[in-house]
């Protein structure tokens, strides 16, 4: 048997394995956080976009939330904006916050929208400011480091967390062919713009709409044990036990907390997986074994 024939057979087997999952999740909503190094790679962004369009085609309602820490850092460097650090957080001014919003809502958001549209979808870019989607407040939790880079760039006064989610516009999109792509910017009651960790935004939206799945694409295989071995499935109690034993890296802690919050709010399952792997979401959601970590209540 030739390599081409083997590849065709493997493709057919994967499609057959995926069919029951496609039927099961038809009509369900998935919230997907797209970030990390994969977001800056054209080939990985294309793979991600094709996966999103496939989900929409089989009846799943995907909602994309994206990050952009590395890109923001690069822009600040290009503009030669110098800031000082306080407790690991970069002290900035209002000008820097405006640049952050410009990069997230402009360049990054529209690049992802265009990529999804190029893959055959109908994507629309919005931020938490649109239709009062994300009401934000000043971030009060700051006792850990994060791997998103964004909190390291902004003064605490401009780093926020979701106070409430208004899903009105998402409900409209759900009844259409539109795929929303959300930049993690919120607005406070005082009219202040806040930048919010993309994992946190994705979890808050999943909680608010009781999404079937929350999928977090990151730069690691998933949740690892103390030996660095991938844990394929984990529940809330096991996750809390690992946290108490300081198993998780500081960057993983906020992700786990976001996952636990979403599960406690009605999300059926959370998946943490490596977004640098081509077709990662399809392999995770539509195959029996998956490739990352699945977290359940």
pLDDT in tens, 220-235: 888 888 888 899 999 9
Mean pLDDT in residue range 273-287: 91
pLDDT at 146: 55
Q: Is the pLDDT of residue 294 over 80?
A: yes
Locate the domains of the chain by residue range. 26-296
Q: How far is CA 258 from CA 110, 228, 272, 289, in A?
A: 26, 21, 11, 24
Higher pLDDT, residue 209 or 245 = 209
Q: Is the pLDDT of residue 143 over 70?
A: no
Q: pTM of the entire structure?
A: 0.88
Closest by CA to 197, choosing from 160, 167, 230, is: 160
Closest by CA to 128, choosing from 84, 85, 172, 160, is: 160
pLDDT at 85: 47
In terms of DSSP bridges, do strands 193-196 and 159-165 run parallel, antiparallel, or are they unpaired?
A: parallel
Closest by CA to 277, choosing from 16, 4, 37, 14, is: 37
d(CA 184, CA 169): 15
Token pair for 265: 């709010």
d(CA 218, CA 182): 17
pLDDT at 88: 39
Hey, which CATH number is domain 26-296, 1.10.150.110, 3.40.1160.10, 3.40.190.10, 3.40.50.300?
A: 3.40.1160.10
Q: Compute and round to an integer the Cα radius of gyration of the chain.
A: 19
b (16+ CB within 10 A) / e for 226-261:
eeeeebeebebeebeebeeeebbeebbbbbbbbbbb
Mean pLDDT in residue range 276-286: 91
In terms of DSSP bridges, do strands 293-296 and 134-138 run parallel, antiparallel, or are they unpaired?
A: unpaired
Residue 250's pLDDT band (cuts 50, 70, 90): low
Helix (H, G, I), strand (E, B) or coil at 47: helix
pLDDT in tens, 66-117: 988 777 778 878 888 765 544 434 445 677 788 889 989 988 999 999 999 9
pLDDT at 92: 53
DSSP string, 136-174: EEE----SS--SSSHHHHS-GGGEEEEEEE-THHHHHHH
């Amino acid at each position: 048997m030739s390599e081409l024939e083997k590849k065709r057979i493997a493709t057919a087997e994967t499609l057959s394995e995926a069919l029951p999952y496609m039927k099961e999740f038809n009509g369900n909503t998935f919230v997907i956080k797209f970030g990390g190094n994969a977001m800056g790679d054209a080939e990985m962004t294309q793979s991600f976009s094709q996966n999103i369009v496939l989900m929409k085609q089989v009846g799943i309602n995907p909602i994309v939330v994206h990050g952009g820490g590395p890109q923001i850092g690069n822009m600040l460097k290009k503009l030669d904006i110098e800031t000082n650090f306080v407790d690991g957080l970069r002290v900035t001014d209002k000008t820097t916050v405006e640049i952050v919003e410009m990069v997230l809502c402009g360049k990054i958001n529209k690049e992802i929208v265009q990529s999804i549209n190029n893959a055959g979808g109908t994507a629309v870019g919005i931020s938490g400011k649109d239709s009062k989607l994300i009401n934000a407040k000043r971030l009060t939790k700051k006792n850990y480091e994060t791997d998103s880079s964004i909190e390291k760039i902004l003064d605490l006064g401009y780093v926020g967390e979701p106070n409430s989610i208004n899903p009105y516009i998402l409900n409209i999109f759900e009844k259409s062919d539109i795929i929303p792509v959300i930049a993690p910017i919120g607005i406070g009651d005082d009219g202040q713009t806040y930048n919010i960790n993309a994992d946190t935004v994705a979890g808050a939206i999943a909680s608010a709409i009781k999404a079937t799945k929350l999928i977090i694409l990151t730069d690691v295989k998933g949740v690892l044990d103390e030996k660095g071995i991938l844990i394929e499935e984990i529940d809330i109690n096991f996750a809390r036990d690992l946290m108490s034993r300081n198993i998780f890296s500081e960057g993983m802690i906020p992700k786990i907390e976001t996952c636990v919050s979403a599960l406690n709010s009605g999300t059926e399952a959370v998946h943490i997986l490596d977004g640098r792997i081509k077709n990662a979401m399809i392999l995770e959601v539509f195959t029996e074994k998956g490739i990352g970590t699945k977290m359940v209540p």
